[in-house]
């Protein structure tokens, strides 16, 4: 059974978390490179990082900067930052009250299928929402987790954007739990103009226990990917 190290990084600057991801990501790639070079089978560890970020907008490598609707001065006035990064997907927002998950997995230890990987991340969020009585689903041709797909009130509750190299993943998902949704008004989220965003807090009309949601989400990820946490 694959082994995964879980780390809760708490509220952490986006760039600091990105650098930490890159460090772990490159460590796994180095082990795999040395294994090929020396014909060895040294095992690789995978990681699951949870965190929250101060207000920040990130733009994927294929994204359109025009989907950021405000200038740098306005961002400063809202204490927000902006980064162009190397994941897939367009623009999204991260902020307090949002569970940001960064699975740094060596998929050679699981399955070598990025499509399946993305669907499992979505499924873990769908199952977590169901634990709270919130019905959610996927939207054809659009990654992430949605509510009321196909209706006039279709809205997104979790965004996905990943990068992979030699079957090692980084970046991940942003799950809106108690976050300030007004910050999404400064962007066209994921470049999608005809759908809105929501959060667990908005859907349930009450603040939700973040630690409880994290615990449930971890459990669903563990079961779906069939791994063992090494630090529990």
pLDDT digits over 147-170, tens only? 999 888 999 999 998 999 999 999
Is the predicted pLDDT of residue 89 greater than 80, yes or no?
Answer: no
Q: What is the structure's pLDDT at 193?
A: 56
The highest-confidence range among 29-43, 125-139, 181-195, by mean pLDDT, is 125-139
Active site residue 190: yes
Give the C-alpha distances (Å, rounded to integers) separating 82 from 72, 92, 172, 182: 8, 10, 18, 16
The residue from 51, 158, 179, 190 that is catalytic is 190
The confidence band for 192, taking pLDDT boundaries of 50, 70 and 90, is: low
Give the C-alpha distances (Å, rounded to integers) separating 211 from 12, 50, 93, 217, 218: 16, 11, 21, 10, 10
Q: What is the pLDDT of residues 173-188, one digit of tens each?
A: 999 999 999 998 887 7
Q: Which CATH class is domain 3-229?
A: alpha beta
Is the predicted pLDDT of residue 38 greater than 70, yes or no?
Answer: yes
Is the separation of the CB atoms in 167 and 111 below 8 Å? no
Per DSSP, helices labelled H in 39-176 are 72-77, 114-131
Q: Which of 219, 215, 232, 229 is nearest to 1 (CA)?
A: 229
């Amino acid at each position: 059974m694959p082994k995964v190290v879980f780390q809760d990084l708490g509220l952490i600057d986006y760039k600091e978390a990105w650098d930490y991801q890159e460090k772990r990501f490159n460590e796994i790639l180095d082990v795999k490179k040395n294994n090929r070079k020396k014909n060895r089978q040294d095992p690789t560890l995978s990681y699951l990082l949870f965190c929250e970020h101060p207000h920040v907008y990130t733009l994927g490598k294929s994204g359109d900067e025009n989907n950021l609707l405000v200038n740098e001065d306005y961002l400063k006035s809202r204490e927000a930052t902006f980064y162009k990064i190397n994941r897939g997907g367009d623009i999204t927002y991260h902020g307090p009250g949002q569970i940001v998950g960064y699975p740094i997995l060596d998929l050679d230890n699981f399955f070598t299928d990025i499509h399946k990987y993305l669907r499992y991340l979505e499924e873990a969020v769908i199952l977590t929402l169901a634990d709270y009585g919130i019905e959610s689903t996927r939207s054809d041709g659009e990654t992430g987790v949605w509510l009321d797909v196909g209706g006039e009130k279709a809205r997104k509750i979790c965004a996905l954007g990943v990068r992979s190299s030699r079957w090692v993943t980084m970046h991940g998902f942003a799950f809106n739990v108690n976050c300030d949704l007004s910050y999404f008004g400064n962007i066209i989220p994921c470049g999608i103009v005809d759908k809105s965003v929501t959060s667990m807090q908005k859907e349930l009309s009450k603040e939700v226990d973040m630690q409880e949601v994290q615990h449930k989400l971890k459990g669903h990820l563990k079961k779906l990917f069939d791994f063992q946490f090494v630090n529990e």
